[in-house]
């Protein structure tokens, strides 16, 4: 998983010898950077063909259409009826994107505020930490009846699911970052009479940025999962989210649209992941050695 690799990326870079020239990292693209993913892609498509033409029993092949059939019916057909074709998929995708983004923004705002309160006041940390950990492992989806009973509006319910699922990593990583400032740097601020607020803004938050971005990236990925999964459980007539759309295709055995929708949902997750990686590089790449998990 990316989590572990990204955790490694926040570890302090190894210091090099005292007066040798500082190491400049090069961004050369190696041939293996292109060959690797290409080989995996070809193998993936090959395996897919094998599954849908020979491995699956003949009467079950409708479950997984061949790649070219998916392309033709899922991507190159704009709209057939109310539900089939690329347009309905994109329409429901857009609905989910909105839910994921709204949920993510709320998560970031509340999560950062809570982490700050936890870092500055010990009793807040003591009071909330066990419940945050519990929240992380709680089966949110089993609570759907409760959520439905307490909150009106499908949109709000879906956003709430996103927040609940994406909440923990941003709090955890921000808190960890705020509390991991080196002792000597704290002492420097103490020596010069810095108050809590100055310390927070000029020392703890900047120092925590690498961790905060790790949390952001994980939470962003989870917000996509939260939105897609939340769609399954909270929907109304009219435009539904991509999760509900996938469920509809599954129910009607429309294999091509089903696969196309799943692929697009994955691409959304990938785009979010890459976007936050890029954002992190822009924000802290200049001073922080590794901002990518590699």
Partner 1 sequence: MAGALSFKNVGMTFPDGTRALGGATFDVNPGEFVTVVGPSGCGKSTLLRIASNLETATDGVCDVDRDSIGYVFQDATLLPWRTVAKNIELLAELHGVDKAEREGRVHSVIDLVGLVGFEDKYPKQLSGGMKMRASLARSLVMKPRVFLFDEPFGALDEITRERLNDELLRLFRLEGFAGLFITHSISEAVYLSTRVLVMSSRPGRIVDSFDVPFEYPRAHSLRYEPEFAELCGEVSTALRGALV
CB of 119 to partner 1, least distance (A): 18
Report how far residue 262's alpha carbon sits from residue 247's, in angstroms, rounded to the nearest whole number: 10
Is the CB of residue 277 less than 8 Å from the CB of residue 291? yes
Q: Which two tokens stand for residue 110?
A: 């509340």
Percent of residues in the chain assigned helix, strand, coil, to nearest 5: 75, 0, 25
Q: Where are the beta strands (DSSP E) in the chain?
A: none
Q: Quickly list DSSP for 187-239.
A: HHHHHTT--HHHHIIIIIHHHHHHHHHHHHHHHHHHHHHHHHHHHHHS--SSS
Residue of 13, 37, 46, 153 interacting with partner 1 (CB under 8 A): 13
Residue nearer to partner 1 on the CB measure, 18 or 251: 18
With vertex at residue 274, the alpha carbon angle to CA 271 and CA 276, rounded to the nearest 5 degrees, is 110
Residue nearer to partner 1 on the CB measure, 195 or 251: 195
Q: Which of residues 202-261 bind partner 1 (CB under 8 A)?
A: 202-203, 206-207, 209
CB of 181 to partner 1, least distance (A): 10
Residue nearer to partner 1 on the CB measure, 14 or 59: 14
CB of 191 to partner 1, least distance (A): 6
Residue nearer to partner 1 on the CB measure, 208 or 262: 208
- Structural Rg of the chain based on CA atoms: 23
Q: Is 289 in the site for partner 1 (CB under 8 A)?
A: yes
Report how far residue 258's alpha carbon sits from residue 249's, in angstroms, rounded to the nearest whole number: 5
Residue nearer to partner 1 on the CB measure, 49 or 189: 189
Which range of residues in 50-58, 148-156, 162-170, 194-202 is near partner 1 by CB under 8 A? 194-202
Residue of 59, 137, 184, 294 interacting with partner 1 (CB under 8 A): 184
Residue of 21, 29, 142, 149 interacting with partner 1 (CB under 8 A): 21
Q: 23 Cβ partners below 8 Å, 6+ apart?
A: 16
Q: Is 185 in the site for partner 1 (CB under 8 A)?
A: yes
Q: Which residues bind partner 1 (CB under 8 A)?
A: 13, 15, 17-22, 182, 184-185, 187-194, 198, 202-203, 206-207, 209, 284, 286-289
């Amino acid at each position: 998983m990316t989590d572990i690799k990204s955790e490694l990326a926040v570890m302090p870079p190894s210091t090099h010898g005292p007066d040798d020239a500082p190491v400049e990292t090069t961004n050369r693209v190696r041939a293996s950077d292109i060959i690797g993913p290409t080989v995996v892609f070809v193998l993936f498509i090959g395996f897919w063909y094998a599954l849908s033409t020979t491995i699956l029993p003949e009467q079950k092949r409708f479950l997984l259409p061949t790649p070219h059939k998916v392309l033709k019916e899922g991507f190159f057909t704009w709209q057939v009826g109310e539900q089939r074709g690329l347009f309905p998929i994109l329409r429901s995708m857009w609905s989910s994107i909105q839910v994921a983004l709204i949920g993510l923004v709320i998560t970031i705002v509340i999560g950062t505020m809570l982490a700050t309160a936890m870092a500055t006041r010990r009793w807040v940390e003591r009071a909330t930490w066990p419940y945050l950990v519990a929240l992380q492992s709680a089966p949110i989806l089993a609570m759907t009846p409760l959520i439905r009973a307490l909150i009106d509006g499908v949109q709000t319910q879906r956003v709430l699911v996103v927040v609940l699922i994406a909440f923990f990593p941003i709090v955890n990583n921000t808190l960890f970052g705020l509390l991991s400032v080196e002792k000597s740097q704290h002492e420097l601020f103490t020596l010069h009479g810095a108050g809590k607020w100055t310390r927070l803004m000029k020392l703890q938050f900047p120092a925590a940025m690498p961790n905060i971005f790790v949390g952001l990236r994980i939470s962003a990925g989870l917000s996509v999962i939260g939105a897609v999964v939340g769609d399954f459980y909270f929907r109304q007539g009219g435009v539904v989210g991509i999760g509900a759309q996938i469920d509809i295709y599954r129910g009607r055995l429309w294999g091509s649209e089903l696969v196309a929708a799943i692929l697009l949902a994955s691409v959304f997750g990938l785009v979010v992941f890459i976007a936050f990686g890029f954002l992190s590089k822009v924000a802290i790449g200049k001073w922080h050695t590794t901002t990518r998990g590699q």
